[in-house]
Chains A and B, each alone.
Chain A
Amino acid sequence: MPEHNERRTPDVSVVIIGYNDAARLPTAVRSVLDQTLHNVEVVVVDDHSSDDTPKVAAHLAAQDPRVSYHRLEENSGGCSKPRNTGIDHARGRYVMFLDSDDVLDRHACLNMLQAAEENDADLVSGVCIRRHVNRSGRVEDVPWWPELYTERRVLESVADLPDLLRDTLSTNKCYRREFLNAHRIRFPEGFHWEDLLFSATAYLNARRIVLIPNPVYYWEVMVRAAAKSISNQRSNIRNVRDRIGIHRRVDAELDRFPDEVGRAEIRLAKAVKFLEHDLVLYLRELPYQAPEYIEECRTLFRDYLATLPLEQAFALCPHRVAVAGAYLLLREDWPNLVTISENLLDRTRVTTDLVERDGRVYWCDDGYLQDELGRIALDVTEAGYHQRSLAESNLATRLTGLEVVSAGRKSGKIRLSGETVNPLGKVPSDAALSAQLEFRPGQRAVRQYRVKVAEVRHEGSRIRWTGEVDVSRVVRPLGVLDPMFEVRFRLKAGDLGTMATRVTAIELPPGAADLELPARPLLTKLVGDRWVVRINHRGVLTLQIAARNAVARKVNAAFEANATGTGGGRVLRVVRKVMRAAQKANRLQVKRRGLKLFSRLPVKRGSVVFESHMGLSYSDSPKYIYEALRRHKYAGRMYWSYEENTNGFPKDAALVKRLSWGYVWALARAEFWVDNQGFPRWINKRKQTTYIQTWHGTALKTMGVNTPQVRAMLTDQRNELIRAVNRFDAFLVRSEYDVRTLVEAFEMRAEPLRTGYPRNDILLAPDVAEHSAALRARFGFPTDRTVLLYAPTFRQGSGNFEPGFSFEEFAREFGDTHLLLVRAHYLNTVSVPASARGAVQDVSKYPDVSELFLAADALITDFSSVIFDYSLLDRPILFFAADEAGYSRDRGTYFDLAAEAPGPYTTDVGAFFKEIRTLTAEDRYAEARRAFAQRYGEYEHGDAAEQVYRRFFAKGGK
């Protein structure tokens, strides 16, 4: 290592501040001295610690000449004075800041220096990583504002990227020291939130700013730290005063920003950030605070909000509920503001009745919608609460009463009552209601306890309920590991599904806080003996275990010490080890080895693993093969793979989560695999297993080994693809066209099964007409309107799909005569504006497209392969390809659809709408369509599932 001359100017000075943190200070200092940049200087500033800090720091300074130590005369109680002192003592050309409990990445200084020098910049900023330790003891790294740091950017001034003001930290940055001195940039002493002012002042004055995508600073966030650091203590009113005060000072600094256009842009960006970040932070905890605090906090925020460019900020801010909150705060509407806070604690929760006007959805009315600003602010249409089905909704359920019915030595019966909001009449008044209360210890809990709610009914705009539960008998905690049970509410409304939510309350009913009931943990009373009722920090009603006997108190104290990391804790260490081992076992590499091992075990005769669209749904041909097997009472074990949840999957099959150990086990031992897309490539198939690939559609786009994508592959990648395809033993086809475009194009070894698609059997069944009518009735489609199914193909890139025509326009033109069902490709989404909802329905989530075919009178599509299937029904097809040119440039097609289309082919909205009008009345294309169906579906006879059954499964099973 090169020797360092003390006279040599350091390239970077790192100011490390600490207060009573002697234990961790050496780690922080070491992280600087071990930098890949050697020419650094460490300026340790001690905020007059009362612990060993002076001794430790002096020792560090004696060991390395690059370390200097400075101690403040008296404790300053903040970060500002120590950091300012550090800047004054720094000799380096650049300055960085570090807190004694954090560390720098070992390349941080060199990355900063290189970026600063290459661009002659005043300021370089990189990524701060917040390092959490989760419950299982694993470190989780969460980058701070990663969207600002996705590439290397050089800004001439902050006006080039006003959103930079969102990153308010001072520690992930490197400042030219001369720049700090020339502009007299220092931390404000005597204030909290010093970072906010310092970073903003630096941004506003810097002549050139470089953003680098590199991690710079590791912020060691203590999840369960006993004492929160200053910045987390929001319940102190001084904290609010300082926050607002600092914002006012930043605004004053901004007034001096030279560029006028830039100034307005920055001011707006800052206002938007204030709404969605600062305001939200305080607003969501506000109702739970003391009355005097609430009063002053509201005044402080209200006065400050009035100084912001509100109209623009309201329109621009994507956090619609925060905007509504800001508006209600200005109008001093406390009751409605509380509903905002309740929502901010859980963004999916609807906490108010909502109002609909002219196709837009508003948080509330109360006269505010007369006002232009009110209409902008309270519009929460974008949040999409109204679009969710009941089962997907989270309807706020508030506790209204809690009293003891009876209590004994081993029992404690309480009566809970509450009310649930019913926004926009989501739960129809004629729906049959039933409900349950659920007690569970956490999000991913295995155990949960449910009891039926005796009484639940509509009452005005709300749903009221009352139920009794013997907490002591029903809720049986393990003890120690599950000290808290959340109370949840599950509402079932006829066939609309079940809505689940947490029961909340701002405060407990009188007397409930003193309530104690007997608790019976499975680990006996030695770990806890009483239940108490509390509102947790998320505003949720919970039951918590309390230890009243001496032994239990001791046991819990020991665990508490472990959990906060201050005690020895052998037990917890063992628990953590087990959990870490479990995490390791979840790695793909380990599973790959497991697969190899399981594949040596004998095949489980007759067992079948089904998967459709990589586990996304129970659908497509695998579903119909499964149903055929069920019809024939197939005796082998049948598995279905699911990706997200088990909704809609058959109850009588064994369900395995995709890529889980159960999945690997089932696949390794199955006699049959049935799937429509491809099991993961790394899952090798043993030779005793038969893989039936049903495929998911005839190809219009070019496929196979001759596409550019595959041709551009290197040998290894190409071989991997070929290996994956060679796992198929049988491949279902609908025509010789499929054989050419799929089987031969992929150079498959699989036998082409000329059966047609099982999913299309219902389209060719003799009872098509009856089935169609029944489905239409089930979906609730009006009988007097023409039902059109719009199924566009996959659009690359964007998740949300733009149709190329306006749904609102469609609704105006055809609202009385037609119903448009929109089905986006399963990798895309679509949003239907509220005003078009009578005429346009999003059916993208419905798993079975074949049933939608039956329910529709005609199909509209662009290049989707659904035409091949739908043509079997012999109903009209209309083509609408707004961005045809873009599509064929991205990917070639096997034939010219425009020329061969079995229906009118349109590219502009005018012609498209004209064709819709006449589509079902005059059917000019009947003949072309039949020829098309014959050409591409020659093997479709309506018995595909039967044929597959007879060929593979008739003799199978046990």
Chain B
Amino acid sequence: MTVSTGAEVTAAASTRAQTPRDVVIVANNIDEAGGAQRWARSMGEILSARGHRVHLVGVAGVAKAHDYAGEYGGPLPYQSTVLHPRPLHAVAAPTLPQRVAHPGVSVRRSQWNRLQRHGAAALSRILAPLDPRNAVVVCVQVFAMEWLAQADTRGIPVIGMSHESYAASMSSSRGRRVQKLYRNLPRFVALTGRDAVDWTISGKMNNVTSMPNPLPLPPEGGADPAAHTCVALGRLSQEKGYDLLLEAWARAVAARPETDWRLRLYGDGPDRAKLQAQAARLGVADSVVFEGATDQVREALLGGSLFLSASRAEGFPMTLLEALACGLPCIAFDCAPGVHEILRGEEAGGDGTTTVNGVLVTPGNTEAFGLQLGRLMQDEALRREMAAAAPGSVARYSPTVIGERWDRLFDLVQR
């Protein structure tokens, strides 16, 4: 088994764009190991390989930066800048009663406004030398749009993005901010066609199109269906649903006391202690391994034979794409159109909708999740069949395909 570096992957898979452009990608931050950051990094690589001049801009710095250069295995092919090197804590505009009761709030808010203006000015300086007819700005999250809205974009078209499902967006204040800040952009990119229609009809946005995330790893398979290991990957926080996952795992294991299967959880987060206590309480402390955060995602996945996702909210999960690329069948809660699309669910879902590359389960139904998990643990033939189909099922998200689609979108907004 050979492990190829990111540089080799993208260079080999790419064709050149007809018109090389300046592409500025602006995100909340570009240094964490989260989904949006990894998306920005891999887009940086893909677009550079196609001949574009890419500049990644992070609005804020982070306490502990992920080593993307090391992971890439060579000097990064794109430029990157962070506007505010230290982590930011947003200050909301105070209401009139707050202003009266706590005069300090107003001061903090005006400091925040000043900071935003400085950041926007820095962003304007980045955009100043670019030719508006041949440059594009991609705004990864709506938070970053607050800076872009104040910066001088000089007629360079801005493409807005939302990296979560319509429902997830609308359950927070981000939904309303998207509606306000992205309304007049030439294009607003949602993750799936379903999300785009939801944004159009329910969200009253009229500039929506959709674009799936690119595959971060080559779809080469390689995982061992006989390894008897389940893998889950992500931040240990409530929205990722590890509490539900442990419960489902306990159900599956309880039905098979003699099993040698292991569940490896890669990731760290605020709920770690709570989850470890839960695992002990459920009597599965022995079979569940808390591996902590890892930089070696591919290796972690290649050591597994099933991938589990119990998330409560998702966008177009990169981890699911990676798992399938490595040849792991997936069991996931059908919590977002993105998950549904990746697992190629044709109908509306329901418990145990089995697809070529995995199984979809009604969100929150740990009993059904446990049953499906047990079924796949038991049935090695089915696992092998799904594992064989998995890499091919995500080939439509290959960097070449996605890169070409982005090029067409860049052409469109330049017309």
A residues sitting closer than 8 Å to B (CB atoms) are 1-3, 11, 36-39, 105-107, 110-111, 113-114, 117, 150-152, 213-215, 707-717, 889, 892
Contact = CB atoms under 8 A, between A and B. Distances in A.
Q: Among A707, A708, A710, A715, which residue has the most Cβ atoms of chain B within 10 A?
A: A708
Given A111-B207, A152-B197, A709-B364, A11 B415 contact: yes
Contact of B132 (A1, A150, A214, A709): A1
List of 6 A-B pairs having minimum Cβ-Cβ separation, nearest first: A712-B364, A708-B364, A712-B363, A711-B364, A708-B365, A36-B186
A214 B206 contact: yes
A717 B412 CA distance: 39
A114 B209 contact: yes
A215 B244 contact: no
B197 A151 contact: yes
A605 B412 CA distance: 67
17 contacts: A2-B133, A37-B186, A39-B415, A106-B184, A110-B207, A110-B413, A114-B412, A152-B196, A712-B244, A712-B312, A712-B333, A712-B335, A712-B363, A712-B364, A713-B312, A714-B168, A716-B172
Interface in B193-242: 193, 196-197, 200-201, 206-207, 209, 238-239, 241
Contacts of B187: 36, 110
B414 interface: yes
Given A152-B193, A708-B365, A714-B239, A214 B313 contact: no
Given A107-B207, A214-B200, A889 B350 contact: yes
B366 interface: yes
Nearest to A711: B364
Contacts of B350: 889
A709 B252 CA distance: 21
Q: Is the interface of A mostly helix, strand, loop or mixed?
A: loop
A2 B364 contact: no
A711 B244 CA distance: 8
A38 B415 contact: yes
A1 B186 contact: no
Nearest to A115: B209
Contacts, number: 81
Contacts of B313: 714
B155 A2 contact: yes
B124 interface: no
B171 interface: yes
B362 interface: yes
B331 to A, nearest CB: 15
Nearest to A39: B415
B407 interface: no
A225 B64 CA distance: 66
B412 A113 contact: yes
A150 B196 CA distance: 12
B351 interface: yes
Nearest to B201: A213
A213 B333 contact: no
A715 B313 CA distance: 11
A150 B200 CA distance: 10
A146 to B, nearest CB: 9
A639 B337 CA distance: 45
Contacts of A213: 197, 200-201
Contacts of B155: 1-2
B288 to A, nearest CB: 19
Contacts of A111: 206-207
B325 to A, nearest CB: 26
Given A712-B363, A714-B238, A716-B171, A110 B412 contact: yes
Interface string B164-188: 0000100110000000000011110
Interface in B34-52: none
Given A36-B186, A707-B364, A708-B364, A714 B201 contact: no
Contacts of B193: 152
A28 B64 CA distance: 54
B206 A107 contact: yes
A713 B335 CA distance: 10
A889 B350 CA distance: 9
Contacts of B186: 36-37, 107, 110
Nearest to A109: B415
Given A36-B185, A107-B207, A110-B207, 12 more contacts: A2-B133, A38-B415, A39-B415, A110-B187, A110-B412, A113-B412, A117-B412, A711-B364, A712-B333, A712-B335, A716-B171, A892-B367
Contacts of A215: 206
Given A114-B412, A889-B351, A708 B363 contact: yes
B132 A2 contact: yes
B313 to A, nearest CB: 6
Nearest to B369: A708
A642 to B, nearest CB: 29
A168 B393 CA distance: 42
Nearest to A110: B186
A152 B365 CA distance: 31
A746 to B, nearest CB: 16
Q: Among A106, A110, A709, A712, which residue has the most Cβ atoms of chain B within 10 A?
A: A712
B366 to A, nearest CB: 7
Contacts of A714: 168, 171, 238-239, 312-313
A717 B201 CA distance: 23
A399 B230 CA distance: 81
B136 to A, nearest CB: 12
A132 to B, nearest CB: 18
